[in-house]
Structure 1
Amino acid sequence: MTYLVHTAHAQFVGLWLGVVGWTLTIVTIGLVQWRVWVVDDLSVITSGLAWVGIWRVCFYSHVLVTSQYDVMFCQKIAISDAFTPADIAAAQVLMLVALILGLVGNAGAVYGLRNIYFGLDEPKPIRLAFSFGGALFLMAGLCSSVPVLWNLNSVVTNQTIHFPSNFHMPPAPVRQYTGGGIAMGMVSFMLMIISGIIFLSYRFPVRQGPKVTPQWPEEGHSAIWDPGKSSLFFNKDNTNHCQGRDNRAFQAEENV
């Protein structure tokens, strides 16, 4: 059984990075603060700020209140809605795909580390598990990076969304800036990409058997076996090819 734990310290760290990145992906999906709109009309949006997420739009209002919130008005954004922009529609799909890929990638990484820590020294299942988990982590990070960076570009270029009248949103914000959803999404996909690279870079140690190099006596030397030292040494005197020791017990029997 080969001890392999010392070869997978980086992969252990990579697993934690992947788990944290995947957890942050879940939080990113649930956050509504992807884009923060600053509005000048405070008659409905009392706080002057509206949050645009990938699933809903929310703002504080003393005029409009939804039943499940105290002073917050929210409206859902569906992928089938005609006004839904491409960046939000892509985020709804790709973030869920990243969530599933990250979950399966975690399972593959845990299986590979389990084989190492439990002493399994077969290279094939360990390589397959790490390659499978690393590839899924990498794909999950890339899937989540597309909507996050796309929405970031929409904020930087101050692109608007033509909401219907029941959303009570202005045609365009005075200005907008990135919220916590985009920032957390950037951290999450970077962690998963780093985790995937770490797992894909694992190399199984090469097995090397003990080298046996026979040594032959040089010319003019003779091989002599020393039973007391259990070793073979060479004597420069070629006339004495072996050296023996007297057995005193045998001599005593002959003298009887």
Structure 2
Amino acid sequence: MTYLAHTAHSQFGALWLSFVGWILTSMSLGLIQWRVWQVSDTKVITSGVVWVGIWRACFNSYTDVSEGFRNMHCRYISLREAFTPPEIAAGQVLMLLSLIVGLSGNAGGVYAMRNAYFGVGKNSSILLSFISTVVLCLLAAVLSLIPLIWNLSSVVTNQTIQFPSEFKLPQAPISQIVTRIQDA
């Protein structure tokens, strides 16, 4: 059995990069800044800004819009709702799949690195482990990229979402952007 640890340093760096990408993917699931709407009606939405994520839509309000919500009012966007646009529904499903596939890819990478550094297994099984890790990590990247590009396209073309009245949101924004640093 040949000792592979002296040749596996770039694979170790790629594993760390994959792990950072997986963490960023998991963080992006909870963000509400997928779309930032600028609205003109400031009676309820006192800040004039609505944040629309793949799981919920939120806005700041200094009026009492519902029991217990004085500052930030959020409503969840369900996959089964009739108003949910296809890019948000696809984002909910594909980002979760990306998280699971990325976790599998990172686990395969840890297994492959263990075999390479400790000399466990045959060279062919180590190579197969690295190839499956690459395939899973690239699949996770593609699964993340599809909703991101689709959302960007929806923002650039200023597509609206027909929210129900209980969301207390206007039917269309004045403008929308992907995110702003000061809003984050």
Q: Please state which band the TM-score falls in when normalised by the shorter chain.
A: over 0.9
Q: Which runs of 5+ in 1 are unaligned?
A: 181-256
**Partner secondary structure for residue 18 of structure 2:** helix
Contact 1:75 1:167 in 2 (8 A): yes
For normalisation by structure 1, the TM-score amounts to 0.68
Is residue 85 of structure 2 the alignment partner of residue 85 of structure 1?
yes
Amino acid at match of 2:90: A
**Partner secondary structure for residue 81 of structure 1:** coil
The C-alpha deviation readout for 1:126-177, integer Å capped at 9, x for no partner, is 0111111111101100011100100000011111001111111111100000
Equivalence for 1:189: none
Structure 1 CA distance for aligned equivalents of residues 67 and 107 of structure 2? 40
- Identify the range of structure 1 (118-127 vs 42-51) with the bigger mean alpha-carbon deviation: 118-127
| Matched pairs, number | 180
CA RMSD, aligned part only? Answer: 1.5
**Partner secondary structure for residue 43 of structure 2:** coil
Q: Which runs of 5+ in 2 are unaligned?
A: none
Structure 1 CA distance for aligned equivalents of residues 139 and 66 of structure 2? 38
Structure 1 CA distance for aligned equivalents of residues 17 and 141 of structure 2? 12
Structure 2 CA distance for aligned equivalents of residues 68 and 108 of structure 1? 45
Deviation at 1:63, TM superposition (A): 1.7
Structure 2 CA distance for aligned equivalents of residues 106 and 67 of structure 1? 43
Contact 2:47 2:60 in 1 (8 A): yes
Equivalence for 1:8: 8
Contact 1:44 1:61 in 2 (8 A): yes
Structure 2 CA distance for aligned equivalents of residues 63 and 93 of structure 1? 34
Equivalence for 1:110: 110
Deviation at 1:70, TM superposition (A): 5.0
Q: How does 1:147-226 map to 2 (within 5 A)?
A: 147-179=147-179
Equivalence for 2:138: 138
Is residue 45 of structure 2 the alignment partner of residue 38 of structure 1?
no
Structure 1 CA distance for aligned equivalents of residues 72 and 51 of structure 2? 11
Structure 1 CA distance for aligned equivalents of residues 114 and 64 of structure 2? 54
Contact 2:55 2:77 in 1 (8 A): yes
Question: Radius of gyration: which is bigger?
Answer: 1
Q: Percent identity?
A: 55
Structure 2 CA distance for aligned equivalents of residues 57 and 139 of structure 1? 28
Structure 1 CA distance for aligned equivalents of residues 76 and 107 of structure 2? 33
For normalisation by structure 2, the TM-score amounts to 0.93
Structure 1 CA distance for aligned equivalents of residues 70 and 26 of structure 2? 25
Amino acid at match of 1:175: S
Structure 2 CA distance for aligned equivalents of residues 64 and 54 of structure 1? 25
Deviation at 1:125, TM superposition (A): 1.6
**Partner secondary structure for residue 143 of structure 1:** helix
- Describe the shift of the 1:166–1:69 C-alpha distance in structure 2 as closer, same or farther (beyond 3 A): closer
Deviation at 1:3, TM superposition (A): 2.3
Runs of 4+ in 1 over 2 A off after TM superposition: 64-70
Structure 1 CA distance for aligned equivalents of residues 167 and 44 of structure 2? 11
- Describe the shift of the 1:161–1:124 C-alpha distance in structure 2 as closer, same or farther (beyond 3 A): same
Deviation at 1:121, TM superposition (A): 6.2
